[in-house]
Structure 1
Amino acid sequence: MKSVWKVVFGGLLLTVLGGAHAEEPLGCVEVTVGGYKAPNYDCLSQQMGNNPDGAAAAQKNQEAMNVPVNKRPPNQVGLATPAATSTRMGNTFGTSVKPQRPPVNPGASPLLGK
């Protein structure tokens, strides 16, 4: 009979202690080590996450990320831009249809073994 009461009392004690540890902290604790402050980022994240308007803000962010293709900048869609074409063409941009290339080096072939 005593062992049954010990088990029941132990279970109640664990329940009470477990509930005490499950409570959220009221404030964040900053620790100073060697002159440097180290805030508790978990606590700060929880405080920032308890915003009731957070779901609405997340929805607006998601909508902003889903921009239609016809509204996106050309470099995000894969189209040529004047800056990219200018880089590719070199100094012949706007004057020739052939891109600038370095002069051909008529050097000896490494396979001939001179």
Structure 2
Amino acid sequence: MKQWMNMMAGLGLVMALPGAQGEEAPVCIEVTVGGYKTPDYNCLSRQMGNAPQAAKAAQRAQDAMNVPVNERAPNSIGLATPAATGVRMGNTFGTSVKPQRPPTPGDN
């Protein structure tokens, strides 16, 4: 009887181990409190992070963030572009040093 109980306890431990069920994703438990569902975000994050392409996607994202300064767009590093300057100056762009402004309310 004692041997049978030890065997069942060992079997229970093996069944409770995280990797014992193969390649299946862990089941996430939702808790309902007062009518509001609360998912287990840690479990959902683990499920989303186990994609085989995740390492490749993370590497591509990291490479995209490390673009040299001389290859970046001018507006992403704070430089003025002709389009932005044209918007700021209005219809006086290229003809005046003073930007276009609407008339003040007292000038009518």
Q: Could you say which TM-score interval applies, normalised by the shorter chain?
A: 0.5 to 0.7
TM-score, reference length from structure 2: 0.57
Q: What residue is the counterpart of 1:33 in the other structure? A: 33
Identity of aligned residues (%): 63
Q: State the match for 1:99 in structure 2.
A: 98
> Helix, strand or coil: the match of 2:42?
helix
> What corresponds to 2:55 in structure 1?
55
Q: Is the 8 A contact 1:90 1:99 kept in 2?
A: no
Q: Which residue of 2 aligns with 1:76?
A: 76
Q: Give the root-mean-square deviation of aligned CA atoms.
A: 3.1
Larger CA deviation: 45-54 vs 34-43: 45-54
Q: Deviations over 1:34-83 (max 9, x none)?
A: 32221100111111122233222211111122223343211113321124
Q: Distance in 2 between matches of 1:35 and 1:81?
A: 53
What is the DSSP-based 3-state SS (H/G/I as helix, E as strand, rest coil) of the residue aligned with 2:57?
helix
Deviates more, 1:56-65 or 1:66-75: 66-75
Cα distance change on mapping 1:100 and 1:26 into 2, 3 Å: closer
Contact 1:30 1:40 in 2 (8 A): yes
Cα distance in structure 2, aligned partners of 1:31 and 1:60: 36
Code of the aligned partner of 1:100: P
Greater Rg over alpha carbons, structure: 1
Q: 1:40 to 1:94 in 2, by over 3 A?
A: same
Structure 1 unpaired stretches of 5+: 1-15, 103-114
Aligned residues: 83
